[in-house]
Structure formats: structure tokens, C-alpha cells
Amino acid sequence: MKADRRMFRFGDAIVYAVLCALCVLLFLLPFLQKQNAPLLAEIIVDGEVSETIDLSNDEMPVVRTVRGCEISFSREGVRVSAADCPDQLCVKTGTIRFPGESIACVPNRVVVVLRRQTGTRDPYDMVAY
């Protein structure tokens, strides 16, 4: 290891450049996706979708408890209102409102993801009869 008096070198610039570019790109990604369709919340347990809740449906359940995570639904978004995990990160995440956002309770292996309704494509656009 070299004793180095300089604070900044060329390589550092490259690292910053690459990471910043990546960052910008990732933030732009949502603008590929459409904003206006109704929201669906997918509850994923152990990697498999166990339930999908339509947030635009007036009859949706308000609360679902999955594996120790109490998930609350509303028209605007979803949050984990209580959980039995030690870190409580899922609760601290707060409310998610946009498609693509998710709340994860990693110890319980539970994830809630918001999706747009149109994102799940039907195999057809319209039916003729």
C-alpha cells in the first residue's frame, strides 16, 4: 500500500462517473412505465404470489395478515402496519404508492409489491363475439 498524499485521482473520477450514470438510469426507468392505471398489490410469500389485491376495487380487504406481517391497504397505497420481525424495517418503510415500489419483511420472507393493472397483460386486447 502506498502512502498517498493526493485526495483525488483519475480512477476515482471514473468510479463516480460510472456509478452516477447508473444511478441516473435507474431513476429514469420508471418513466418507461405507465402512470395512470389502477393499482394492484401483490403479496409474495417465499417467492410465490399468494394473493393480489385490487386497490381500485371498493370491496378490497382493508387488512391482511401474512406470516406475522399485518398489511394495510387503501386506495392510495399499502403499508405494513405491524410485524413480528426484529428489525421492523418493513413497518418503517411506510406507505408505498407507486407501481414498482415494494415493502419487504425479509425475515418473514414476505414482500408486497405494487403493480399497475395493465402491466399484467392479457393474452388478447379484445374479444370478438
Residues of this chain that bind another protein (CB under 8 A): 1-23, 25-29, 32-37, 44, 46-48, 86-87, 89-90, 92-93, 100-102, 104, 106-107, 109-111, 113, 118, 123-129
Residue 48's identity, in one-letter code, is E
CB of 82 to another protein, least distance (A): 15
Rounded Cα distance, 53 and 75, in Å? 11
Long-range contacts of 64-71 (CB under 8 A, 24+ apart): 66/108, 66/110, 67/105, 67/108, 67/109, 67/110, 68/105, 68/108, 69/105, 69/108, 69/110, 71/41, 71/43, 71/103, 71/112
Query: Which CB sits closer to another protein, 21 or 63?
Result: 21
Query: Which CB sits closer to another protein, 2 or 58?
Result: 2
CB of 70 to another protein, least distance (A): 17
CB of 100 to another protein, least distance (A): 5
Query: Which CB sits closer to another protein, 41 or 73?
Result: 41
What's the chain's Rg over C-alpha atoms? 20
CB of 50 to another protein, least distance (A): 11
